[in-house]
Structure 1
Amino acid sequence: MSKLFFLIVFLTSQLFAVDIALNGMPDDEVNTTIHHSATTKVFGENLFNGSFSNIRQYKYNPTYRINIGDVISIKFWGAYEADIKVTVDTQGNIFIPKVGTIHLLGAKNEEISQLIKKAVENVYKQNVFVYANLDNYQPVSVFVTGSVNKPGLYEGLSSDLIIQFLDKAKGIHLKDGSFRSITILRDNQRLKTIDLYDFLLNGSLEFFQFKNGDVIFVDSIQYYVSVQGDVKRPYRFELTTPTITLETLSKLAIPNETATNVIVSRWQKNHKKMVQKLSLYKHKNFIIQSGDEVEFIPDHHAYMIEINIEGEHLSAHKMVIPKGTTLQEALEKISFSPLSNKDAVQLFRKSVAKLQKQLIDSQLRDLEAMVLTTGSATPQEALIRKQEAQLVLNFIERAKKVEPKGRVYLNDKSDLNRIVLEDQDTIYIPKKSDIVTIQGEVKLPGAQTYVEGLDLNDYLESVGGYNFRADKENILVIRQNGKVINYDATTFGTEAPKILPGDSILVLGKPDTKDLQITKDITQIIYQIAVGAAVVLRAF
């Protein structure tokens, strides 16, 4: 069990490793087979993250009405001089020595200087000047309830904004809470309804003066539409009515310039799903219903595509070519430099990267399920497994962040005339190199100049040989064109791979564990990351 624990520590550390680059339907068509699988985020979900809850505003508001508990700073000069702070008492009055009481409850903030001056002039007929300022707003306690994450009674100032109180309640519940139907009640009477979309879309938020015992009630969401695809705002949008036009929805979602069509998915009363494809521009008045899923898509008939040219060459870094152009035809248009390694050309493709990412994520899910469902016989074993599981879960979270490059592997037998390029493909041309890098579990990792005739064992000996953690059964030789060769140094009679200029040699670590399944799964994932993401993660 302890060995398994150290295995997890070792494999987790690999994600903090040094990266070694290895680059060297016509309109209105109905189709009931289309499904939306992506999880749509909620518009406004990042609003409440604690940024509002601990901030107090003392902004001047001329229409604010003086309340019990407010603190007023007053300065007198002339025939009567004083600098005092007074609190509005429970009867709505303040008391000024030598002047008496002044009733300010309900008066507007902009009126208090004149009201105080008028009272002072009843005592001092002339040559008295007054300046009054609201020094501190009344502290209040407000109930926040309904579809919020943490209903309760929260303290603040009467001048605080509604989003500050909602933030104290940890925000609106994203699954069923409404951003557009938030009611403020006082003495069980509805005073005001707030629509936070005014703030989210326009930055507009109306001031409201809270009192002790006020209630903020967040209603449940009633109407909504989910949007995804080629838009700047791929969210679930809340509606104030059961329907909305496609044009109005577009103003919320903001389609990208490339979007031309929408796919509307709708569940009908007969439990069948209707999917309809519409032109974004011809069907602006199409009625979207609550619960619909709307996907904005580009549906262009491209005759030209754009590819990227990177690495060592003399051509432009972008090339626009006819759709259907092959890799061989594109290479013939590139001007190579004397340092270009034309024999190690690499091709990267976004669709391949997406597939690689899906494969890695699938392996990570299987690993997570295995770790979380492993039982324990004793409390002591359960504690160790809990620690191990946390390390594995941390490894999984970091591995999920890796983005594969989408390399299409080419070898000497590949027919480049049959490889048709796709839009946004990247052709990478390595630079000729006489350097061989040796990394991983060796005593002195580094780079060596290429010497013709030396084999893998010679290069390993030149860096001091293996260290104590080396897995001699898993040695990788990575060619400049991205080809990966596995070598098992423990198998008798196996000839070591020939080393070529620009190669990278990686000696993987040997896990010390009896749990073969976990060892196999994590090692496979690390290998997939190394090959698919074009980087090698090495333990310290």
Structure 2
Amino acid sequence: MPGAPGTEPGTPGESPLDAAEEFRRFITGSLPEERLTRIERYGASFFRNPPSTFAPADMIPVSPGYIVGPGDQVRISVWGMVEGTWIETVDRQGTITIPRVGVIGVAGMTFDDLKMALEDEFSRYYSNFEMSVTLGALKSMKVYVVGNAKKPGAYTISSLATLVNVLLDAGGPDENGSLRKITVKRGNRVVTTFDMYDLLLKGDKSKDIRMMPEDVIFIPVVGPQAAVIGNVRRPAIYELKGNTTVEALLSMAGGMTPTGSIDRVQMMRVKQKEFRTVFEGDLKDRSINNLKKMQLADGDLIRLFSVVERQSLVRITGPVAKPGDFAIDSGRTTLRDVLGWAGGLLYYAADEVEITRVSVTPKGPKTERLKVNARRALQGDPVHNVALRMNDFIFARTVPDWKLYRQVTVYGEVMYPGRYSIEDGETLSSLLQRAGGFSPRAYPRAAIFTRERVRQDQQRQIEEMADRMERELLGISANELSAALTQAESNLLKAEASQKQALVAKLRETKAAGRIATLIAQPEVLKGTAYDIPLEEGDVLYVPSNPTTVQVIGAVLNPTSFVFDKRLSHTQYIRMAGGYSTDASPARTYILKADGTAMRVKASARGETPWVKEFNGGKTVLVEPGDAIVVPVKLSSYRGVRQARDYMDVVYKAAVTAMAIHEVTK
């Protein structure tokens, strides 16, 4: 039993390595030093999944030269002295039968001849009439596709089908089939030889004849082939016909791309079917290495390359309107030219421009820097308007310490809140004075001053602490696990390790506020003190109104806020919050002051804020409006990690501080 088309007996489903496939693999694998695009035979895509619109339509008008045959339906309408309509189908004898007119032989007539013959026959019996003749359903016919077709066989087609229609149905030539020598045999003679390249390259269908019953379409073996890759518009494998030159092949490939180079063309050729050779040439008309007129042989591969980039650029940066790279004529283009192309210097540019130049010397690269006056260069001063060389780097400088605006924000209980532009060295007291001072509702003691640079430093310290803690915890956990004697002890250690990881994750979630605890007071009080600090870009000052509350947070039964009463002590506030919880550490209770400082409640361990004399008449008051009474949780160190409690305390206090700031600013 023969195998399926395209397979060899004994290897079902495996495609044989035919000559065309071997050639395709040869050219695509011939240059392993770079990835090449996978190419195919030119014209193969035309037959791949052809749309159904290529099939001949039965409803299109019939041409005058259409040959009538058995199976065609003839529609005849007559009016005038006689009226009637007849629909007749041409029988196997090639005739139709019309009442009173008789049997008429029509097979082999053209459509024009059919109309004339019917008028003549009707004229023998009738006069003074008009006639309309059309064709209804058309006959079908059988043709044969043989040779190297993808789907050879017998095809039943419409009588309007042409050679190309049938080739599309048959899938076109296979890998071994020719696209350029397709013949149609009718009887014992060849009625046409069709070249698909005429259709694909020129749009010429003059030899796309209409098929007749029993026609045979023969696709011979493909002829010589050559491929072209690289910088051409249609890289592909082309079938050659007759004597074909490199120039003709490039023409079939659509010519070179705009970036293709005529300075180099590479040809690979198989010599005597023994070895492959490569030789170089070009496409220059008067060159002795010109390959344009060279005759191609079967299996040749032509490769074109892109043009070589020869850019002479300089780069300019800094305060110019359009910084970037600019093409120059090395040694002739001057600094003034490039400054002009870059839109000129901006108003805050300094006079001095630095040009960095790297020269090639026998000992290696040599770097030199030229400093010139840009203003004089723009005036054409030859001393400063220097000629530039390839790869020069031009750095236009700004005036010292240039920044268009430095802005800080003050909001809350000041007379004129908003964003203020500051000058270099401007201080906090100056900002408060420009903001009109505090409003009557202001509570400067709880003011919050934050700085972005400080926030970044604090955040970096938190991250470093988390990294250090993670290393310590992991190292100790590994040692403890390896020393575990029982499964229960091992499980306990694993649970502790999981808790430690959760602690590290919590620490990493801590976000620094960037707060600076400092004295915030009326401008005249603040001015001239150590706390009248210079402002920086992005500083933020928030002045709240009098909070009139005190928070009790931490290890108490009901953490909440209470109305401030100067008669109450910290212990009374804690009792109002339900007292200490079972995990509280009363001895470590402290007051988180509204100004960002902290104070221990134990008198012997209590510190004094340096600027406290500015408030409360110089007296130290333990609990004030906006303060938070913090009762820490009693923490136990993890086994083998003395620092664990300290780390947990850091996390706890960071959370408490954030909560207190939120309470003030909300």
Distance, in Å, in 2 between the alignment partners of 1:456 and 1:87 is 98
- AA in 1 matched with 2:301: E
The question of 1:267 aligning with 2:261 is answered no
Q: What do the CA deviations read for 1:185-244 (whole angstroms, capped 9, x no partner)? A: 344653322111111112222342323333222222121110111111111111122x31
Deviation, structure 1 residue 160: 0.9
- AA in 1 matched with 2:282: L
Larger relative contact order, structure 1 or 2 (CA cutoff 8 Å, min sep 6): 1
Query: What is the aligned length?
Result: 326
The question of 1:97 aligning with 2:84 is answered no
Distance, in Å, in 2 between the alignment partners of 1:226 and 1:75 is 60
Q: What do the CA deviations read for 1:422-457 (whole angstroms, capped 9, x no partner)? A: xxxxxxxxxxxxxxxxxxxxxxxxxxxx97666799
Q: What do the CA deviations read for 1:507-529 (whole angstroms, capped 9, x no partner)? A: xxxxxxxxxxxxxxxxxxxxxxx
Match of 1:224 in 2: 225
SS in 2 for 1:279: coil
The question of 1:56 aligning with 2:56 is answered yes
C-alpha contact 1:52 1:167 (8 A) present in aligned 2: no
Deviation, structure 1 residue 118: 0.7
C-alpha contact 1:262 1:280 (8 A) present in aligned 2: no
The question of 1:74 aligning with 2:76 is answered yes
Change in CA separation of 1:52 and 1:171 when aligned onto 2, cut-off 3 Å: farther
SS in 2 for 1:232: coil
% identical aligned pairs? 24
More strand by share: 1
- AA in 1 matched with 2:173: I
Deviation, structure 1 residue 490: 8.2
Deviation, structure 1 residue 90: 1.0
Distance, in Å, in 1 between the alignment partners of 2:302 and 2:190 is 35
SS in 2 for 1:43: coil
Match of 2:135 in 1: 134
Match of 1:353 in 2: none
SS in 2 for 1:272: strand
Match of 1:181 in 2: 181
The question of 1:199 aligning with 2:211 is answered no
SS in 1 for 2:134: strand
Deviation, structure 1 residue 117: 0.4
SS in 2 for 1:116: helix
Deviation, structure 1 residue 46: 1.8
Deviation, structure 1 residue 158: 1.9
**Within 5 A, what are the aligned runs for 1:110-509?**
110-124=112-126, 126-173=127-174, 175-187=175-187, 189-205=189-205, 206-241=207-242, 243-253=243-253, 254-257=255-258, 258-260=260-262, 261-269=264-272, 270-282=274-286, 283=290, 284-299=292-307, 303-304=310-311, 315=322, 320-321=327-328
C-alpha contact 2:75 2:85 (8 A) present in aligned 1: yes
Q: What do the CA deviations read for 1:371-423 (whole angstroms, capped 9, x no partner)? A: xxxxxxxxxxxxxxxxxxxxxxxxxxxxxxxxxxxxxxxxxxxxxx99899xx
Q: Structure 1 stretch 52-61 or stretch 273-282: which is displaced more?
A: 52-61
Deviation, structure 1 residue 308: 12
Distance, in Å, in 2 between the alignment partners of 1:73 and 1:212 is 23
Match of 2:634 in 1: none
C-alpha contact 1:304 1:323 (8 A) present in aligned 2: no
Distance, in Å, in 1 between the alignment partners of 2:150 and 2:53 is 14
Distance, in Å, in 1 between the alignment partners of 2:298 and 2:504 is 65
Distance, in Å, in 2 between the alignment partners of 1:304 and 1:218 is 52
C-alpha contact 1:185 1:215 (8 A) present in aligned 2: yes
Distance, in Å, in 2 between the alignment partners of 1:63 and 1:308 is 73
C-alpha contact 1:139 1:156 (8 A) present in aligned 2: yes
Q: What do the CA deviations read for 1:78-108 (whole angstroms, capped 9, x no partner)? A: 1222233322211111222221222221112
Aligned CA-pair RMSD = 4.7
Distance, in Å, in 2 between the alignment partners of 1:111 and 1:306 is 77
Distance, in Å, in 1 between the alignment partners of 2:162 and 2:452 is 72
- AA in 2 matched with 1:177: G
C-alpha contact 2:328 2:390 (8 A) present in aligned 1: no
Q: Which 4+ residue blocks in structure 1 deviate beyond 6 angstroms? A: 32-36, 305-309, 330-333, 335-338, 417-421, 450-458, 489-498
Query: Normalising by structure 2, what TM-score?
Result: 0.42
C-alpha contact 1:159 1:208 (8 A) present in aligned 2: no
Deviation, structure 1 residue 33: 9.2
C-alpha contact 2:314 2:392 (8 A) present in aligned 1: no
Change in CA separation of 1:245 and 1:128 when aligned onto 2, cut-off 3 Å: same
SS in 1 for 2:249: helix
Distance, in Å, in 1 between the alignment partners of 2:276 and 2:227 is 18
Change in CA separation of 1:320 and 1:87 when aligned onto 2, cut-off 3 Å: farther
Deviation, structure 1 residue 128: 1.6
Match of 2:557 in 1: none
Query: Normalising by structure 1, what TM-score?
Result: 0.50
C-alpha contact 2:164 2:208 (8 A) present in aligned 1: no
- AA in 1 matched with 2:246: L
Q: Please tell me whether Structure 1 or Structure 2 has the larger radius of gyration of its CA atoms.
A: 2
Deviation, structure 1 residue 493: 10
Q: What do the CA deviations read for 1:34-78 (whole angstroms, capped 9, x no partner)? A: 989553222112212222576323343222221221222222111
